[in-house]
Structure 1
Amino acid sequence: MATYKKRGFKPKNKAEEDQIEQMESTTAEVFQTLDESASKTEAWVQKNQNYILGVIGAIAVGVLAYLGYHQFIQKPKEATAANELFYPQQYFDQALSNETAKDSLFSLALNGAEGKFGFLDIIEEYKGTKAANLAQYSAGMTYLNLQQYDEAIAHLENFSSDDAILGAMAKGGIGDAFTQLNQPEDALDYYEKAIAHDNNGFTTPRFLRKAGIMALNLGQKEKALGFFERIKEEYPETQDGVGIDALIGLAKN
């Protein structure tokens, strides 16, 4: 049992007296050690206070710089880039609906005109912005329509998005480019990536059908059958579901 010393307390015997003295000695040693540690800590702080203050200052400056950059540089840059993107995007949209002048309109979308930026300018001048990322997608699709497939692949690979439609369309666009370059294995790989990106009624049946046809061309009938049967089961009412039974028959035979 622990023994403690009350005011006016007297030990009953020699053993109890020795125990009390030992506890008092131990307590004194503990407090002395604490005092010495505190003194050493204070001395270390005093000796290194310039370094400590420098580190704290550097962290504070870093935080303030980040907040300032985001607020006063990045946000205005994003807004400006988004405004610049509007101009070439108009030419791109017009080209999709104007068969006669589509090549010239696609060229304007890429390179700009009348002092306005095209997709390529935005990619270069506004790196790191959302608008520059979208410009990569649009530039890739523009090159795909212009049948410049290597350039299309390069830009679409630089595009990154979690968006269900755009992300799948970019991967499928790379697949289309590889198809035109007569690289069927690469094409099939990217069609499968487009399918895996998101499950929806617009892009999924589209690239299931393309993947199935590509697999058929590669002699992979079992894989092709899986793609076609999924269209029949999940997307029979879509445009890509039209004639799917005939494709299933080809894959089975």
Structure 2
Amino acid sequence: MATYKKRGYKPKNKEEEVIIEEQESTTAEVFNTLDEGASKTEAWVSKNQNYILGAIVAIAVVVLGYLAYQKFVIEPKDTNAANEFSYPMQNFNAALTNTAQKDSLFNLALNGSEGKFGFIDIIEEYSGTPTANMAKYAAGMAYLNLQKYEDAIAYLEDFSSDDNIYQALAYGGIGDAFSQLEQQADALDYYKKAISAAGDNEFTAPKFLYKAGVAALQLEKKDAALDFFNTIKEDFPTSKEANNIDALIGFSE
């Protein structure tokens, strides 16, 4: 049993005196060890303080440099890119509604005209800006509509967004391009990514669940197709994709 030594306490017998001496010895050893450790740490810090300070300064320079670059380079650059973005977007939107001139309008959106930038120019001139990133998405979709599927895949794969809808549509666009190239396994992989990005969005989720199910059927993966179609029926019963879902479920069983 441990003995608590009060100030001025005298051991009652020899045995208790030995115990107290052992406790004092152990305590002294612990404090000596701590002192030695602290001394070694202080010595190491003293010896390497120039390196430590240099590392701290280097980190601070990197952080401040990054913030300054964002503030004084990227932000003004992106403002200019956004101003240039309106012209190709006008042509892109017009192409979606004007089927007679669809191809020419998509090409204008991609390549620009009469000194106006197209999506490709913005991507090259304003690389690293959020607007250039969106131009990659728009360029990929334009190429998809022009049936230039390899180009569509290249630009859409290079696009990334924290916006789940845009990211889902980009993955789905890549899936559509692979599907048109008759690479159904690749198409299915990207439809799955689109489903994951879409989450519970009532527009994008059932859209890509349906496409994934069709791709799975083409690959003779009926169990996978059944899972996709059942998810539409159970989770998105009011979507347009749910209209004929029972027939597809029956075909997949």
Measured against the shorter chain, the TM-score band is 0.7 to 0.9
Describe how 1:209-224 pairs up with structure 2 within 5 A: 209-224=210-225
Instruction: Count residues with an aligned counterpart.
Output: 219
Deviation string, structure 1 residues 112-168 (Cα, Å, up to 9, x no partner): 112111110111111111001101100000000000000000000000012121110
Once the 2 structures are TM-superposed, how far is the Cα of residue 244 of structure 1 from its aligned partner? 0.8
Q: Which is greater in Rg?
A: 1
Once the 2 structures are TM-superposed, how far is the Cα of residue 65 of structure 1 from its aligned partner? 3.5
The unaligned stretches of length 5 or more in structure 1 are 4-36
Describe how 1:37-56 pairs up with structure 2 within 5 A: none
Counterpart secondary structure, 1:205:
helix
TM-score by length of structure 1 reads 0.77
Describe how 1:36-75 pairs up with structure 2 within 5 A: 62-75=62-75
Alignment partners' CA distance in 1, 2:128 and 2:200: 29
The alignment-based identity, stated in percent, is: 58
Partner of residue 119, structure 1: 119
The unaligned stretches of length 5 or more in structure 2 are 8-39
Does the alignment pair 1:201 with 2:202?
yes
Deviation string, structure 1 residues 90-126 (Cα, Å, up to 9, x no partner): 1111100100000000000000112111110111111
C-alpha change, 1:226 and 1:100, in structure 2 (3 Å) is same
Alignment partners' CA distance in 2, 1:228 and 1:120: 38
Partner of residue 28, structure 2: none
Alignment partners' CA distance in 1, 2:103 and 2:80: 27
Computed over aligned residues only, the root mean square deviation of the Cα atoms, in angstroms, reads 2.8
Pick which of 52-61 and 238-247 moved more.
52-61
AA at the equivalent of 1:125: E
Once the 2 structures are TM-superposed, how far is the Cα of residue 64 of structure 1 from its aligned partner? 4.5
Does the alignment pair 1:170 with 2:170?
yes
Partner of residue 183, structure 1: 183
Counterpart secondary structure, 2:99:
coil
Does the alignment pair 1:157 with 2:193?
no
C-alpha change, 1:207 and 1:66, in structure 2 (3 Å) is closer
Counterpart secondary structure, 2:100:
coil
Describe how 1:27-106 pairs up with structure 2 within 5 A: 62-106=62-106
